[in-house]
Every structure is written in structure tokens, then in C-alpha cells.
């Protein structure tokens, strides 16, 4: 009972026959082969699987691949254009906004939407904007610094 | 002959951004679940829904008949394989046989019963539901004090008292101390069970190559080499046929300092099926089946003179072990005992541990491993004593600190503290908050009915684990430095970093020692075929032990480089600096890269010298290191809701010399977050049936970004004499210093209501009840 879906991921079009129950995160990781987004909980709490769907941050572990049919997806692999890092990636690197790195792809993409909605956030706005993404390593302080620095750099 | 590379400044001590980050921020790193091998099968584990039950029968036929299922493995299939290993030994320790899969009985919720292997992970999970297990539920006990009560259900029927071991240690003359005392304060203090919650769950890919009879095991671990030795033992296979790779590891905090049943199971299944097989732990499984931390009920008695001089400390420690011993389970509370005096000149101690079996997942090392519990205990007791004596808690601490001139200092628990100036970080923190002014502000706030608290902890910890005789596993570390023929430098380290940044800090050390550009250095780790044996990353030992092994390897390498350089310059006296070997008298020099080329070309060898430029060093540390610090927390408690607002969080840590301040800051912040998690939000709650009520991230509250206060972090620097880098370790400090400072602050806030102690976590509900005059 597979269904045919066509979607664009990081600017490239993909067409596949998938089971209706296949989660978007498994489609991206297992079929398309982009392993930047991670699976941390499968309950949409941790945010490690966050991707941008038509520009909005979504948790790809609680969405079916068929729901993304006809839509635009961006994963962390699509963020750096022409080999040039996005200002958010630069800022996470400069500010030591990551340690083990597992939450980082989701954290950066959530921050991407946060800054798109609010280019000049306060620290409290940054913290609330990231509350759907868990990090167990950093205590978030360097992440907040990174998002603030990226905002300053005009990300 | 050579151009001099000028290097005006050192790399050590600089805030250098990490070299591991480009792969992590672009999504190109490879974690275990990113490993994909042609023909790979997926495993799903059938786990017990009961905390204690007999298995009356198991029927896997429907699962086996399910399309896509390759095999189902049950207890009978693996009963002859070695048990899950316990590396700790204590006199009289009772060690239950820990099979890879349950045999006729399950002992904790989530106990693995069977493994279903299929062509994809969805099918494996579907089929796992088709395995029929006939359980006869039994009474369970998950609370360690209840487990000790007469008539409690026996976790292991052969040991009806549920006691795995008892352990006694004393020092000084505890009876005399309590006779001399003017005052004795007593308190029951718990350190609740915590769930480590690394963002990456565990996972294993096992890949058997039948032609070579060789197995590659990719696993998310902190200890690839120890794991290889131990898994080979479980399977009865030759160790040199097993390769363990710890790829990118997404956090661990002690929870991957272990050898788990699944690692051996997947290895065995890959060999049986002659196919690669992957198992990725779900978050639910992570909460049920990966080790938990802490789990103490402690009864303290502190004896002191009226002037505040501490004389003696007694501890009765009840350790919740869970149903089995994992790698270090029974050893963890002994770390609490040896650190129980903290930073104070407490000459007499007495400690008794009772290790208790419960129907719960085993406890083991979680960030700090025994030291947070000890620090929480002594730092709470000091505050309780201060309240009893009506002394300022800072003054009481300053009065009892081991003094700078007294190092090396022999503790009543048998340790030798390496170096310290314990008053320095406390004084710095007091100055930073303007302590006197702040106490005045507090008194004004109280007059207005506000619940404002000021709390501190002055913690010490034991790091750089450690001297081999003091550990259940080896405590040394190894490093190899290879200069490649082009002069580029490759480091192979036995530690296994997973976020701690040693690919960067080690490159900084190499850059300074050899005078090469940091971009010419690559640091590799986590592959037993690539790296000589090593012990791994835990106990704040990566830099302090692994980095020291690297330092000594570099000294050997430098001697070799100079030997080649001298030969090439026809000199008998050369210097090596800035990447150049130079004869100061003739002014001639030869570059590091030229020496490397010559060393591998092998035609200009100095007499009695082997070609190549490689040095390996295995360093055995003569002692632990003992970092310390002071954390200070200002809180305000909302009378109406019991909510706690952290107004200021000040961390002054002394981890000896600092190689990379950026990385050290990150370790402090992350450590504090986990300490704060314990202090305020986190608790693994089992009900009386052994069901885990906090079994998902929805119910177990790890800190989110908006929970966290801004951490004002700074340092004092007291180099360690234990290693030539003068470093002590910082991985666990934040966690250890945090929880007592927070609780002391909140107890201080509520002290006007007569509150003297509160057990963690300080949930608003608990605080609100106290404010209403009830029990916590």
C-alpha cells in the first residue's frame, strides 16, 4: 500500500514510493540518506530531528513522510550554501555552542526560524524560542551567546 | 636551509574554537545510527513490562512467521555466553549472574527477554509485539529502605535480605571526636535516582566478517578498549578478532562507561546470522534500561566544638543498586565515602555502606559518580551546623578549610589532596556578590516578608582517575604521536572524547611542544584497531591523564627529532623551537618537516637510531588530582506558588591550569545544568510495583533553555603537582558544586519558617507545602 511522494529537500527533488506510516525523519535519514537530523526521543520533545518545512521548524519524528508530499524541506546539510557556512553555523562554532553535537542540527534550524521571526531577540526570547530543543551538554549559555552573535551578524 | 616558522605566542591558554565542530554543525558527523552496511538487519528487543515476574513460557512463532523477520533470540539461545561484567570487587560482594537475556525470571522493568531481528526497523518492532511471553508477576520492591525492611520481597530469592554488600571505613578516632564534641547535628539526606539522558541514546552496529572470523562493533561508548576486552570475554572470542569503534558519541555523562547486554547480544547475533545487525535504543528504553545515577539515602552525624571546629563525621549510606551490578555499580558509593570530609580538616570519620538490591535498573556512574552525593552531604551538614551554632556559613567554612601550607594533605579517608587554596574561590565569590551588602539586602527583604536565600557550596572533587591500584579498571592512559613523512602530526589517544573537545585541546599542546601549526595536527581516537590500548574518557581524566600521556610522548618524540636534527646539522647541540631544529653556534637550522622526511627516507640515520618518527607513552598517574571551588546562589522563593527564582549563579572553579578557557566554560555550564537538574527538577520515580513513573522525557524534567539562569563563571588557578601540565579536570565540577549551593540557598530562604533541610528535587509543590507549614 505504498504511496508515491515528491518533495524537495535542500533544493533537490526526490520522488519515492513510501509506506504511509513511514516517519519523515526515517525517510530523510534512511531513504534520502541525509543523516544530519537525528532521532533523540520520537516523541517530539527533544527536537534533535528538527528540519525546516516550507521554512518553518518542525520535528520530523512526529510527522509522516506522506505529509511532506509536495513541500520544501531543509535539513542542516542544506544550510551552508556553496560551502559557505550560515552565520548561525559560524556563531555556534565561534561561541562553542555545542559539545557532543547531537542536538546541534536541530538547535541551529530552530534558531534559524527564531531569527527569521525575530531578528533582534532578547536573551529571554532566545531561551523561550529554543525551549523545544533539548541539549544535555552545554547548559544552553553558549547556545544563547551563539544565537545572539548570529543575530548581530545579521543571520 | 630552512625558513624559521615564527610562533610568537602559545596555543595553550587560548580560547580556540573547536576543531571537531565543522562536521557537527554541518550534519556530516557519523553517529552509530548513521552507520549503514549493505545487508544490515535491525533488532528490536522484547522487554519485561513487570519489575519482577517468573517467565512461564515464551512463544515466538507468530513473530518468526512475520514477513521480513530473520530470527528471534531468547534466553535459551544465549545462556552459555558470559554474563554482563561487573568490574568492581568488594569483600563479600554478592554478584547475581547477569545473563544477556532473562532466563526464567525478570528482575526489573525493561529487563530484556528476547531479540527480534528483521529486514527493517518497522518490521522488527511490529514483530516484537508478536512475541508472546507468559509472565507470573511477583511482588517487587524499588525503594532501597523498603527493600531492607523485614519481609520485603526478595529481589534475588537466594539473598532474602536484599543486601549485596556492606562496607565499613573509618579514620582517626570517631568515638573520641564525638566525646569531645560540644554539638552534634544529624540529618537524613537523600540523593535521588537520576536518569543520565544523553541526547543520543545507546546504539550498536555489529558486523561479522566470517572469512576473517573478525567482528567490528560500532557502539556509543566512552570505553572502546575496555569494552573490546570485556565483550570478547562474554562471547569467548579472541580479543584480536574484535574491533570496537566508538564513532561520534552524542553525550554519555557516565551512562556509556559500561558494557551492556545489547553490545554482546548484537555481536553474537551478527555472528549467528552472518549479517550486520543494528540496534538503536529508543528513548523509552534509555530511561528503563541504561544505568541510572545516584540513589542514596544518607544518614549523617557531624560533631563539632562550639567555636565551629569540625571534629568528626559519621555516615550511614544506603545505596540503591538496582537489580544487578553493571560495570562499576558497587564501587560508586565507595567514592562518596573517600570524599566525605570535603575540603575540611575533619580528622575522624566513620562510614558504613549498605548496598541494596531493588527491582530497578542498576545505578552506576553518572556525572560525578559518588562525589556529588558526598559533596551534597557534607555541604548540607556544614550549613546545618552553621545554623545550629548561629554562625555565618562562609565563616564556618573558612575556619575549617585545609590550609594552603598543609598540602599534600592526608585525609582521614586515606587520600592525599594534591594542592589547593580553598579560601580563594570562596573569597572571590563572596566579593563578587558583595556578601555583606547582600546579607543586609536579605534582612531588608525578610522584613518585607520576602523569602530570599543566599547559599554556597565549597566543593572538592577527586579527578584524573586515577592511580591504577585505586580503580577497578586500569587508571593509566596511552598516547602515540606520529610525525608523518611530510611533517604533519597525528595523535592517537586512548581516551574517547564525546564532546569534551580534546581534538582541540590536545592539538594545542602538540602545537606548543613541537612548534607546528595547529592545522597540521590531527587527533584520532575511539577505534581499537587504530589506537594502542587505552582506558577511556570518564572521571575528568581526558586531559589530566590522557593529555599527560600525550605530553610525555611528545617529550620522547622531541628527543628523537633533535637527534635527527643534530645529525643533519653535524652538530652535537641543537635546540628545537618554533618548528625548527637549530645549532645556535653555527646558526644553521633544519625544519621539522625536513627532519620528518629524512627520518622516513632512512638514508641519513644517526647511529643506533631507528627510522621513522613515532613515540608512544603509557602514563601511570601517581595520584588523583583534587579540583575545588565555590558556587554561590541567590534565590527568591515565591510564597504563593513555591516557585524558585535563581537571581544569581556564581561559579568560581579551580581546575588547575587551563588549556582552552572556551572549552572549560562549556564544561562548567553543562555541569551546572546537570547539578541544577538534580537540585530542582529531576527524579527517577518508581512506584511500589517497580513501574517507572518518569519513563519518558514528558515526565522527567531535564533543564530547558529557559529554565537555566545565567552562570557567572570564573576561576582561581592552583596548578596540580601530579602532572606536568598542572591540570586537574573540570568535567564534573559544575555538577558537584551546584546542587548543595542551590539547596543551601533555598533552605536559607525558608529558614525563617523553621525549615532546616529539604530533599531534592525542590519542586514548587514540595516548597509550597513547606510554606503552608506542612511536610515536604
Contact B67/A at CB under 8 A = no
Contacts of A83 (CB under 8 A, 6+ apart): none
Structural element, H or E, at residue B315: strand B310-322
The DSSP call for residue B33 is G
CA distance B712 to chain A (A): 10
**Do B501 and A99 make contact, defined as CB atoms within 8 angstroms?**
yes
Residues B444, B441: Cα–Cα separation, whole Å: 5
Distances (CA, A) of A11 to A67, A73, A75, A81, A115: 18, 8, 10, 11, 21
Distances (CA, A) of B276 to B32, B36, B123, B204, B282: 13, 9, 16, 10, 20
Distances (CA, A) of B634 to B58, B530, B710, B731, B770: 57, 49, 12, 24, 19
**Do B25 and A98 make contact, defined as CB atoms within 8 angstroms?**
yes
Q: Which of residues 493-532 of B touch A (CB under 8 A)?
A: 498-501
Distances (CA, A) of B767 to B638, B771, B775, B776: 9, 6, 9, 7
**Do B251 and A40 make contact, defined as CB atoms within 8 angstroms?**
no
Contact B29/A at CB under 8 A = yes
pLDDT at residue B775, as a whole number: 59
Contact B248/A at CB under 8 A = yes
Which chain A residue has its CA at the smallest distance from B17's CA?
A94
Residues B66, B68: Cα–Cα separation, whole Å: 6
Residues B451, B771: Cα–Cα separation, whole Å: 10
Four-point Cα dihedral B415, B223, B279, A77, nearest 10: 110
| Nearest CB to B34; choose among A35, A75, A143 | A35
Cell numbers standing for residue B254: 557516565
What residues in B contact A49, CB-CB < 8 Å? none
Collapsed DSSP state (helix, strand, coil) of residue B76: helix
Q: Does residue B358 have a cis peptide bond before it, meaning omega lies within 30 degrees of 0?
A: no
Q: Which regions in chain B score pLDDT beneath 70?
A: 1-8, 774-776
Contact A37/B at CB under 8 A = yes
Residues B142, B62: Cα–Cα separation, whole Å: 34
Would you say the C-alpha torsion B196, B197, B198, B202 has a positive or negative sign? positive
Q: Which of residues 678-697 of B touch A (CB under 8 A)?
A: 696-697
Structural element, H or E, at residue B183: strand B183-191
**Which one, of B289, B455, B471, B313, lies nearest residue B378 by Cα?**
B313
**Do A140 and B200 make contact, defined as CB atoms within 8 angstroms?**
no
For the cut 80, the answer to whether the pLDDT of residue A135 exceeds it is yes
Q: Does residue B408 have a cis peptide bond before it, meaning omega lies within 30 degrees of 0?
A: yes
**Do A141 and B27 make contact, defined as CB atoms within 8 angstroms?**
no
**Do A89 and B674 make contact, defined as CB atoms within 8 angstroms?**
no
pLDDT at residue A81, as a whole number: 81
**Do B706 and A131 make contact, defined as CB atoms within 8 angstroms?**
yes
Contact B728/A at CB under 8 A = no
| Nearest CB to B670; choose among A26, A131, A139 | A139
Contact B280/A at CB under 8 A = yes
**Do B17 and A96 make contact, defined as CB atoms within 8 angstroms?**
yes
Which of A2, A123, A137 to probe the B interface (max B CBs under 10 A)?
A137
**Do B26 and A85 make contact, defined as CB atoms within 8 angstroms?**
yes
Which chain A residue has its CA at the smallest distance from B19's CA?
A93
Name the burial class of residue B472, with classes exposed (0-12), middle (13-18) and buried (19+) by CB atoms within 10 angstroms of its CB: middle
Long-range contacts of A112-118 (CB under 8 A, 24+ apart): A112/A52, A112/A57, A112/A79, A112/A86, A112/A88, A112/A155, A113/A52, A113/A55, A113/A56, A113/A57, A114/A147, A115/A88, A115/A147, A115/A150, A115/A151, A115/A155, A116/A55
Contact B282/A at CB under 8 A = yes
**Do B670 and A137 make contact, defined as CB atoms within 8 angstroms?**
yes
Residues B456, B744: Cα–Cα separation, whole Å: 6
Contact B670/A at CB under 8 A = yes
**Do A80 and B26 make contact, defined as CB atoms within 8 angstroms?**
yes
**Do A39 and B670 make contact, defined as CB atoms within 8 angstroms?**
no
pLDDT at residue B429, as a whole number: 98
Would you give the distance in Å from CA B107 to the centre of its chain? Answer: 26
Residues B237, B5: Cα–Cα separation, whole Å: 51
**Do A139 and B24 make contact, defined as CB atoms within 8 angstroms?**
no
pTM here is: 0.97
Count Cβ neighbours within 10 Å for each residue of A134-146 and write b for 16 or more, e otherwise.
bbbbbbbbbbbbb
For the cut 90, the answer to whether the pLDDT of residue A118 exceeds it is yes
pLDDT at residue B604, as a whole number: 82
CA distance A28 to chain B (A): 12
| Nearest CB to B251; choose among A37, A92, A137 | A137
**Do B711 and A139 make contact, defined as CB atoms within 8 angstroms?**
yes
CA distance B706 to chain A (A): 5
Contact A85/B at CB under 8 A = yes
**Do A139 and B702 make contact, defined as CB atoms within 8 angstroms?**
no
Backbone angles phi, psi at B112, to 5 degrees: -70, 135
DSSP string, B249-291: ----TTTTSS--HHHHHHHHHHHHHTS-EEEE--HHHHHHHSP
Amino acid at each position: 500500500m505504498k504511496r508515491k511522494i515528491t518533495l524537495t529537500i535542500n533544493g533537490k527533488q526526490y520522488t519515492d514510493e513510501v509506506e504511509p506510516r513511514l516517519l519523515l525523519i526515517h525517510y530523510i535519514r534512511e531513504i534520502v540518506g541525509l543523516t544530519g537530523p537525528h532521532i533523540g526521543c520520537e516523541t517530539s520533545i527533544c527536537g534533535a530531528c528538527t528540519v525546516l518545512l516550507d521554512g518553518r521548524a518542525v520535528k520530523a519524528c512526529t510527522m509522516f513522510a506522506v505529509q511532506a508530499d509536495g513541500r520544501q524541506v531543509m535539513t542542516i546539510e542544506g544550510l551552508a550554501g556553496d560551502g559557505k557556512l550560515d552565520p548561525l553555523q559560524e556563531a555556534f562554532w565561534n561561541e562553542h555552542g555545542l559539545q557532543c553535537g547531537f542536538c546541534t542540527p536541530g538547535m541551529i534550524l530552530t534558531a534559524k526560524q527564531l531569527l527569521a521571526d525575530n531578528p533582534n531577540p532578547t536573551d529571554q526570547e532566545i531561551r523561550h524560542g529554543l525551549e523545544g530543543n533539548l541539549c544535555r551538554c552545554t547548559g544552553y549559555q553558549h547556545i544563547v551567546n551563539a544565537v545572539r552573535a548570529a543575530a548581530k551578524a545579521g543571520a | 636551509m630552512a625558513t624559521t616558522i615564527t610562533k610568537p605566542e602559545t596555543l595553550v591558554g587560548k580560547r580556540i574554537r573547536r576543531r571537531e565542530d565543522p562536521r557537527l554543525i554541518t550534519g556530516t558527523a557519523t553517529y552509530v545510527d548513521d552507520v549503514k552496511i549493505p545487508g544490515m538487519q535491525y533488532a528490536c528487543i522484547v522487554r519485561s513490562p513487570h519489575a519482577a515476574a517468573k517467565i512461564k513460557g515464551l512463544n515466538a512463532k507468530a513473530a518468526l512467521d512475520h514477513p521480513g523477520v530473520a530470527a528471534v533470540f531468547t534466553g535459551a539461545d544465549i545462556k552459555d555466553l558470559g554474563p554482563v561484567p561487573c568490574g568492581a570487587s568488594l569483600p563479600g560482594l554478592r554478584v547475581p549472574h547477569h545473563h544477556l537475556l532473562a532466563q526464567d525470571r525478570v528482575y526489573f522493568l525493561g529487563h530484556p527477554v528476547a531479540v527480534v531481528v528483521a529486514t527493517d526497523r518497522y518490521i522488527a518492532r511490529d514483530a516484537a509485539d508478536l512475541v508472546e511471553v507468559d509472565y507470573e508477576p511477583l511482588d517487587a520492591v524499588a525503594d532501597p529502605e523498603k527493600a531492607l525492611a523485614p519481609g520485603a520481597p526478595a529481589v534475588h530469592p537466594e539473598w532474602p535480605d536484599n543486601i549485596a554488600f556492606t562496607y565499613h571505613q573509618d579514620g582517626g578516632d570517631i568515638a573520641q571526636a564525638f566525646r569531645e564534641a560540644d554539638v552534634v547535628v544529624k540529618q537524613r539526606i537523600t540523593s535521588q535516582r537520576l536518569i543520565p539522558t544523553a541526547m543520543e541514546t545507546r546504539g550498536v552496529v555489529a558486523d561479522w566478517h566470517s572469512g576473517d572470523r573478525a567482528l567490528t562493533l560500532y557502539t556509543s561508548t566512552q570505553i572502546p578498549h575496555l569494552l573490546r576486552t570485556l565483550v570478547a570475554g562474554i562471547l569467548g572470542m579472541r580479543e584480536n578478532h574484535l574491533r570496537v569503534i566508538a564513532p561520534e558519541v552524542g553525550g554519555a555523562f557516565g551512562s556509556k562507561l559500561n558494557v551492556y547486554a545489547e553490545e554482546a547480544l548484537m555481536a553474537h547475533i551478527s555472528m549467528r546470522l552472518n549479517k550486520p545487525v543494528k540496534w538503536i535504543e529508543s528513548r523509552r528504553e534509555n530511561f528503563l534500561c541504561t544505568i541510572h545515577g545516584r540513589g542514596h539515602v544518607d544518614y549523617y552525624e557531624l560533631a563539632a566544638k562550639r567555636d565551629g571546629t569540625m571534629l568528626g563525621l559519621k555516615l550511614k549510606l544506603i545505596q540503591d543498586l538496582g537489580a544487578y551490578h553493571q560495570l562499576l555499580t558497587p564501587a560508586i558509593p565507595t567514592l562518596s565515602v573517600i570524599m566525605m570530609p570535603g575540603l575540611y580538616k575533619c580528622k575522624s570519620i566513620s562510614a558504613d555502606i549498605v548496598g541494596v538490591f531493588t527491582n530497578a535498573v542498576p545505578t552506576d556512574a553518572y556525572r560525578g559518580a559518588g562525589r556529588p552525593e558526598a559533596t551534597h552531604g557534607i555541604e548540607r551538614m556544614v550549613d546545618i551546623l552553621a545554623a545550629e551554632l548561629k554562625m555565618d556559613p562562609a565563616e564556618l567554612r573558612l575556619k575549617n578549610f585545609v590550609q594552603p601550607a598543609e598540602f599534600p594533605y592526608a585525609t582521614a579517608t586515606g587520600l592525599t589532596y594534591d594542592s589547593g587554596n580553598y579560601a580563594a574561590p570562596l573569597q572571590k565569590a563572596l566579593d563578587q556578590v558583595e556578601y555583606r551588602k547582600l546579607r543586609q539586602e536579605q534582612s531588608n527583604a525578610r522584613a518585607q516578608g520576602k523569602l530570599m536565600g543566599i547559599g554556597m557550596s565549597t566543593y572538592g572533587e577527586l579527578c584524573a582517575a586515577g592511580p591504577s591500584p585505586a580503580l577497578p579498571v586500569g587508571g593509566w592512559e596511552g598516547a602515540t604521536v606520529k610525525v608523518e613523512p611530510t611533517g604533519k602530526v597525528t595523535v592517537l589517544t586512548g581516551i574517547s572524547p564525546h564532546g569534551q573537545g580534546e581534538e582541540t585541546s590536545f592539538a594545542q599542546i602538540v602545537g606548543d611542544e613541537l612548534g607546528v601549526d595547529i592545522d597540521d595536527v590531527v587527533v584520532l581516537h575511539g577505534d581499537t584497531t587504530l589506537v594502542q590500548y587505552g582506558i577511556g574518557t570518564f572521571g575528568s581524566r581526558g586531559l589530566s591523564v590522557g593529555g599527560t600521556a600525550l605530553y610525555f610522548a611528545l617529550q620522547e618524540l622531541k628527543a628523537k627529532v633533535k637527534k635527527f636534527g643534530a645529525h643533519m646539522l653535524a652538530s652535537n647541540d641543537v635546540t628545537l623551537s618554533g618548528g625548527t631544529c637549530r645549532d645556535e653556534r653555527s646558526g644553521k637550522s633544519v625544519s621539522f618537516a625536513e627532519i620528518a622526511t629524512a627520518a622516513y627516507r632512512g638514508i641519513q640515520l644517526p647511529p643506533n637510531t631507528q627510522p621513522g618518527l613515532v613515540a608512544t607513552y603509557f602514563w601511570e598517574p601517581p595520584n588523583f588530582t583534587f579540583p575545588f571551588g565555590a558556587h554561590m546562589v541567590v534565590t527568591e522563593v515565591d510564597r504563593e506558588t513555591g516557585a524558585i527564582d535563581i537571581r544569581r549563579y556564581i561559579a568560581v572553579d579551580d581546575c588547575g591550569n587551563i588549556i582552552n578557557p572556551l572549552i572549560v566554560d562549556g564544561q562548567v555550564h553543562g555541569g551546572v545544568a546537570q547539578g541544577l537538574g538534580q537540585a530542582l527538577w529531576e527524579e527517577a520515580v518508581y512506584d511500589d510495583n517497580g513501574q517507572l513513573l518518569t519513563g519518558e522525557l514528558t515526565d522527567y524534567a531535564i533543564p530547558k533553555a529557559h529554565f537555566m539562569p545565567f552562570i557567572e563563571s570564573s576561576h582561581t588557578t592552583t596548578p596540580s603537582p601530579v602532572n606536568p601540565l598542572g591540570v586537574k579536570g573540570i568535567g564534573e565540577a559544575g555538577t558537584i558544586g551546584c546542587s548543595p549551593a542551590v539547596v543551601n540557598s533555598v533552605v536559607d530562604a525558608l529558614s525563617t519558617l523553621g525549615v532546616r533541610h529539604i530533599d531534592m528535587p525542590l519542586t514548587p509543590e514540595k516548597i509550597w507545602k513547606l510554606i503552608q507549614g506542612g511536610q515536604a
